[in-house]
Structure 1
Amino acid sequence: MKVKPVVSIIMATYNREHFILESLNSIQNQTFNDWECIIIDDGGSDNTEEVLVPLLNDDSRFTYLKRTDKYLKGLPGCRNYGLDLAQGNFIIFFDDDDIVHPQNLEICVSELSNSNMAFCRYKRSVFFEEFNYDFDLSKEYETFYIKKNDVGKLITNELPFNSCAVMWRKNCFENNRFVETLMYAEEWELYSRILSQGFEGVSISKTLFYGRKHQKSNTGEFYQGNTVRVNSKIEASKLIISNLNTMLMLSPSLQKYFVWKSFSMKNRNLLNHLISQSQLKSKDKLKLSLLYNLGPFVKMYLRLKKKYSNEH
């Protein structure tokens, strides 16, 4: 009988034959060895499977599967498939083109094993083209705790929760899954939902993951104005607003945040969704609508303020 691993690594992949082996090698180089890595292919058309064959034959901790029709095409569906297969006590998501610090699993498992925290968040850095493998191997870092009332910081990105910069206890996903219709911001929506339910965690001030930056990433496409990515961010925002409203956590500051998001993404429907929330008083709904209409003037004021600061 196969012994269950401590950590389940879930990696969705799509046409990454040129990057994925480097990512998987960084997983093999972990100082903590008790893990499984579930690779879910989203139906790519390149030679990813052929590239992986030697690795799969050499290391039984890796499993390669094609996404089944039970799950929708896309990153969320692949990750949900991985979650349904995961055997570990801890769950972590890695991307197929990034690099993992060799102490990533060791440090996160240590933090979670010595506490009752539900997740361990760490710092993430980015790189372009070639990666510098000169890792900081010290184990000295500062920590702070993240609680339910920090959900606003997660949502506004004051406390960034990158999809690959958190290790979770498996029970966080007992009643939570990625929304498979989302093609961007799916982790933003899910992680805020988990935090709003009262799961508490620890954050450490050490970089344990390195994201590769290129234009074909989902984030790169979003900032280039890709319609699918932008619309997904709008839908994710609506889901977050509804959840906050249900949990009685839609604070005035978060209301203003989503008004500004509505304006910046030029989407009146998002504003209408925010205003439709039943917990809001009529006068507050009127204020939010007025704030949206003042958006162009606020934007002009901020531009002039920045220009004045640069000149003086």
Structure 2
Amino acid sequence: MDLVNKPLVSVIIPTYRRVELLKETLINLIEQEYSSWEAIVVDDGSDSDIICITSQYTNLDERIFFYQRPNFYPKGASGSRNFGLSQAKGKYIQWLDDDDLLSVEKILKQVEVLEKSDSFKKIAISPWAYSYDLDNFKINVINNSESFYSVEEILKYFTENETFIPLHSYLMPKKLINFSGLWNVNLNLNLDAEFMLRVLMCSEEVINVSQGYCIYRSHEMPSLSSNVLKKTNSRVASLQLMNAHLNSVEKEFAPYFKWRLSRVFNSTWRDRKQRNSLERYKWFFKNFDIDFRLSYYYFLKKKIYQLVYPRIKSLKRKSN
């Protein structure tokens, strides 16, 4: 890479009432080996002293910019990200939540790979870790470090491994986002999956960069999400949209939607309010072989599986 003319990376960080975590994320960003970046921090309406705190970092590093989300952008992560994107000057976009962390070489290694191609339809991913404890975490290698060449390939990987790729694992050209569309402001849960499906559908290749990684943190601090019923509705509505996106280009991947809808069903059906909320989507569930009338059978089957599977697993270990 030409170290004199390094492309700018815009790091877009929506934030809401998590000042301490945000400070850690900004320090982590300042420590990146890749220096040609700008951080666009967008506050979603915090009632804390976030302006005072963030001003310390904007004064410390001129690459950090702080904004409060304008009222004409809807409240929430999607509105904040769309506003951040409107301010971005970079060739590449790094999405980063206010509690996310990146290894020091992550952006550098991904930029190096993407700069080898003239196509704006290639994106990069990195390994990632899910962490409760930053002193003890396991890095997940994606797809045996192999790249993906179609949206069907990546959906198959998600389904077979019952996993996902966190948003900040990706580095993508801004031009590709302009091509695939902005964040959907009507969703407040599973919005990452819906947004990334559109990006992946427009991509030629998802390049797996094994050097560098990102950390997806788990904690109990507030997020930009909404109440439980809205979350349930958003989870299903986002999956409906994703299915419609694929159908619009005559693509489909039923196993993925059956897996995701099964998870929604299992986690919400026993709650009466959430069950009532799901009823409006019963035909969508049924399209993927989940019939609400058979709910007792599904939970009985699940209970038997939970009882029997550990014993089968134990017997297999003994036989080996």
TM-score relative to the length of structure 1: 0.81
Q: Which one of 32, 35, 46 corresponds to residue 34 of structure 2?
A: 32
Partner of 2:305: 302
Q: Percent sequence identity over matched residues?
A: 21
Partner of 2:169: 165
Q: Which one of 187, 191, 200 corresponds to residue 192 of structure 2?
A: 187
Can you list the C-alpha shifts for 1:209-239, whole angstroms capped at 9, x where unaligned?
12332023559x89xx933333321221121
| Letter in structure 2 aligned against 1:210 | I
Partner of 1:280: none
Instruction: Assess, with a 3 A threshold, how the Cα gap between structure 1 residues 189 and 307 changes in structure 2: closer, same or farther.
Output: same
Instruction: Assess, with a 3 A threshold, how the Cα gap between structure 1 residues 72 and 144 changes in structure 2: closer, same or farther.
Output: same
Q: Which one of 273, 286, 290 corresponds to residue 284 of structure 2?
A: 273
> 1:154 touches 1:192 (CA, 8 Å); kept in 2?
no
Can you list the C-alpha shifts for 1:131-175, whole angstroms capped at 9, x where unaligned?
4499x9xxxxx7421122224236536462201111011122114
Counterpart-to-counterpart distance in 1, 2:222 and 2:96: 14
Partner of 2:131: 127
TM-score relative to the length of structure 2: 0.79
Partner of 1:66: 68
Instruction: Work out the number of aligned pairs and report it.
Output: 290
Partner of 2:153: 150
> Between Structure 1 and Structure 2, which shows a larger proportion of helix residues?
2
Q: Which one of 213, 229, 232 corresponds to residue 230 of structure 1?
A: 232
Which sits farther off after the overlay, 114-123 or 259-268?
259-268
CA RMSD of aligned residues (A): 3.1
Can you list the C-alpha shifts for 1:3-56, whole angstroms capped at 9, x where unaligned?
995211000011122221221011111111111110100010111111121221
Partner of 1:111: 113
Q: Which one of 89, 95, 120 corresponds to residue 87 of structure 1?
A: 89
Q: Which one of 31, 55, 58 corresponds to residue 56 of structure 1?
A: 58
Mind listing any 5+ residue stretches in structure 1 that lack a counterpart?
137-141, 276-284
Counterpart-to-counterpart distance in 2, 1:155 and 1:243: 18
Counterpart-to-counterpart distance in 2, 1:32 and 1:261: 39
Counterpart-to-counterpart distance in 2, 1:269 and 1:298: 25
Counterpart-to-counterpart distance in 2, 1:260 and 1:292: 14
